[in-house]
Amino acid sequence: MNATTPPDILRAAYAELIVTDLAAARWFYVDVLGLVITAEEPGALYLRAFEEYLHHSLVLRQGERPALARLGYRVRGQDQVDAAERYFTARGLDTRRVPEGTTRGIGEAVRVRDPLGLPVEFFYDATHTERFTQHYHRQPANAISMLDHFNVMVPDVRAGYDYYTSLGFGVSETIEDSESLYATWLFRKPTVHDIAITGGDGPRLHHIAFSAHERHQILHTCDVLGSLRAEHHIERGPGRHGVSNAFYLYLRDPDGHRIEIYTSDYYTGDPDNPTIRWDVTDNRRRSFWGHEVVPSWYNEASEVLDLDGAPVPISSPSRREAAAAIGADGFGVTGTGESQRGFKLGHQV
């Protein structure tokens, strides 16, 4: 094992979000989504989903402005935390070892500002908690099982693809055309992804996704939000993704952080798992049923902080998926109204 060997990453494991109103965030994540509180302290909540036994998969920390503080990947053992330190230090990246408990519940870890500009932590040791899988009496009808993936928005998707594949991630799917890569889905655990890279102004956090077991659990979240007159938290869906085949729903939390609830993607664990490459003009790629993607989904995302807590500057891509999908003539298959759907309305003689 030397400094050219990347750490053996298991999976996307936790995220820490800065929220401006912890009480409002608690309402959203605990009261509505049903996440379990592992620990709370003044200014912070440590949450997990019903099948998770590590201390948390989401930390909410009160702060001045909404932001992503950190994405956490779990590595295969504590020796792989050392491997991460060697690997990223040798690449000249801002790499810092932090003592056990720097994040409550997490052992000695290594933090890096990665080549995309995102704050990332690699850890193995973590406090175990009770796994509530068969505690059905505790679970609401919209119960969430576990964290599934991160999605980050960056101006150069190709650079993100190159970086993550060099770390040993597999590529499950892409959205592209002959000139550009607009988005890609990459995995370590044998599902469609641990991280997706979406082209756009960045680096920013596009969303964090949790998985549920059943579609009806996702639909119940929609019903709950409607009943609470909180339907404005629903941004996109429910629907079926083309990419990943998962059933999905996107929500915005009270600070605007985007959360996806996701179910039923597919197994990718064989070494020859084929990459699915979607053409950017395929109208089923982001919604298998052809629904429009709302502009906010393409444009809005959360700021990210560097390892000192300062906001990371944002830059723009040279080409944007939404424009490429419509095409230069404005009459592509991803239109904005019936006139662009290509149907001839009514009976034509």
Q: Which is nearer to Fe ion, 132 or 248 (CB)?
A: 248
Site residues for ligand 4SX, 146-185, by CB under 6 A, read 151
Residue among 221, 198, 225 nearest 210 (CA): 221
- The first and second tokens of residue 75, run together, are 């590595």
- How many chain residues interact with ligand 4SX (CB under 6 A)? 12
Residue 38, φ and ψ in degrees, nearest 5: -80, -40
Sign of the Cα torsion 237, 241, 245, 251 reads: negative
Type and span of the H or E element at 295: helix 295-299
Residue among 301, 291, 221, 230 nearest 261 (CA): 221
Q: Which of 156, 176, 235, 260 binds Fe ion (CB under 5 A)?
A: 260
DSSP summary character for residue 291 = P
The item of ligand 4SX, Fe ion, none sharing an interface with residue 49, based on CB under 5 to 8 Å by kind, is none
Q: Per DSSP, which regions of the chain are E strands? A: 9-19, 36-41, 44-48, 58-62, 67-75, 95-98, 109-113, 119-123, 146-154, 170-176, 181-187, 195-199, 204-211, 234-240, 247-252, 258-263, 276-279
The number of residues in the chain equals: 349
Q: In sequence order, what are the residues at sequence separation of 6 or more whose Cβ sits closer than 8 angstroms to the Cβ of residue 101? A: none
Q: Which of 194, 286, 298, 321 binds ligand 4SX (CB under 6 A)?
A: 286
The conformational region for residue 151 under phi > 0 = left, psi -120 to 50 = alpha, else beta, is beta
Q: Give min distance, CB of 233 to ligand 4SX, in A.
A: 17
The item of ligand 4SX, Fe ion, none sharing an interface with residue 48, based on CB under 5 to 8 Å by kind, is none
The item of ligand 4SX, Fe ion, none sharing an interface with residue 113, based on CB under 5 to 8 Å by kind, is none
**Which of these segments, 14-22, 138-146, 259-267, 313-321, binds Fe ion (CB under 5 A)?**
259-267
Residue 271, φ and ψ in degrees, nearest 5: -65, -20
Q: Which is nearer to ligand 4SX, 203 or 242 (CB)?
A: 242
Q: Which is nearer to ligand 4SX, 241 or 257 (CB)?
A: 241
**Burial classification of residue 147, based on how many CB atoms lie within 10 Å of its CB (0-12 exposed, 13-18 middle, 19 or more buried):** buried
**Which of these segments, 26-34, 86-94, 254-262, 276-284, binds Fe ion (CB under 5 A)?**
254-262
**CA distance to 39, 234, 236, 301, per residue, from 68 (Å):** 20, 20, 21, 10
Q: What mask of x and - would describe binding to Fe ion in positions 191 to 220, judged by CB under 5 A? A: ------------------x-----------
Euclidean distance between CA atoms 293 and 322, whole angstroms? 9
Q: Give min distance, CB of 161 to Fe ion, in A.
A: 16
Q: Give min distance, CB of 205 to ligand 4SX, in A.
A: 12
Q: Give min distance, CB of 65 to ligand 4SX, in A.
A: 24
**Which of these segments, 19-27, 116-124, 174-182, 252-260, binds Fe ion (CB under 5 A)?**
252-260
**Which of these segments, 85-93, 104-112, 149-157, 333-341, binds Fe ion (CB under 5 A)?**
149-157
Q: What 3-state DSSP class applies to 118?
A: coil
Site residues for ligand 4SX, 240-279, by CB under 6 A, read 241-244, 246, 260, 262
Strand partners for 106: 126
Q: Which of 171, 209, 225, 251 binds ligand 4SX (CB under 6 A)?
A: 209
Q: Which is nearer to ligand 4SX, 87 or 278 (CB)?
A: 278
The item of ligand 4SX, Fe ion, none sharing an interface with residue 244, based on CB under 5 to 8 Å by kind, is ligand 4SX
Residues that bind Fe ion (CB under 5 A): 151, 209, 260
Residues that bind ligand 4SX (CB under 6 A): 151, 196, 209, 241-244, 246, 260, 262, 285-286
